[in-house]
Chains A and B, each alone.
Chain A
Amino acid sequence: MKFSFHARKFEAGRTELPKLETYSIVFKNGDDTRQDSLINNMVAIMDYLLKQVRYDFKFTPFKVLAASPDDGILEFVPSKTVTAA
């Protein structure tokens, strides 16, 4: 199930009202999202290690919040599957 909402991203030191942006999250049931979380964290670590030596591999480690061993909430990155693109 996909769920979208609008929110403003406030940053320290800025006085004007930030633009409303759309954020989407996906609820997933039936899979162990802790594995998704682990892999995305490992990808983020690799990204960090490579950025230390000035390599930007344009990784997209999306955020995962595991709620139980068989459901969780995932960040939705606007994208298409390779077949659809």
Chain B
Amino acid sequence: MDSDPTRQKEILQTYLWSCAGYAVATYLLAIGDRHLENLMITKNGNFFHLDFGFILGKNPPGKKQYSPIRLNVEIISGMGGAKSKGYDDFKNKTIDAFLQLRNHRHYILNILTLMVDAGLKDLPSDDYGRILREMDKRFLPHLSNEEARDHFEQIIHESVHAIFANLIYEPLHNLAVWWKY
């Protein structure tokens, strides 16, 4: 860990930006099976997700996604906790990213539609209409920008509340992994 304070600030900023970016991306693409083993962080503070075995609303059998936005207690404590300035920063950045990407809703959905014929497990060609409509709904297309901002903020709040249910679930997953290997 770097001890230089300006460098530390830079790393924290990178962490907040990338957390916000991935929060929106994983929300829109409804990525499933998120647990601490597939959340990565580089030494520069770049936070990112990997292992996209379950996407577009799918989850492993028997596992429920608790919150629309994929957050963990650990991710939030990295920002300084749910009442810190870092967290507020993160929240504002997340909302900004969401509102910007809302303008490109059709572009993003069209590109995804091109993948329908590939016959991916989570984007089957016989059920893609429903999946894409659900994704469209996540952009909150029926709301104005101001309404969407409020609604999306509400979604973030709900997600943060929901992760406390995860507090119980996460150790169980770790135990299950330990059991398996």
Q: Give the contacts of B101-151 with A (CB-CB under 8 A).
A: 101, 104, 107-108, 111-112, 115, 118, 120-123
B54 to chain A, nearest CB (A): 8
Q: Give the contacts of A23-47 with B (CB-CB under 8 A).
A: 31-32, 34-36, 38-40, 42-43, 45-47
Asked if A6 CB lies within 8 Å of chain B CBs, one says no
Q: Please tell me the number of chain A residues within 8 Å of chain B, measured between CB atoms.
A: 32
Interface residues on B, range: 35 or more
Residues of B within 8 A of A49 (CB): 100-101, 104, 107-108
Residue of B nearest to A61 (CB): B48
Q: B43 near A78 (CB under 8 angstroms)? A: yes
Partner of B52, one of A36, A78, A80, A81: A36
Asked if B59 CB lies within 8 Å of chain A CBs, one says no
Q: B48 near A42 (CB under 8 angstroms)? A: no
B180 to chain A, nearest CB (A): 14
Q: B48 near A50 (CB under 8 angstroms)? A: no
CB-defined interface of A54-76 with B at 8 Å, one 1/0 digit per residue? Answer: 01111110100000000000100
Q: B24 near A46 (CB under 8 angstroms)? A: yes
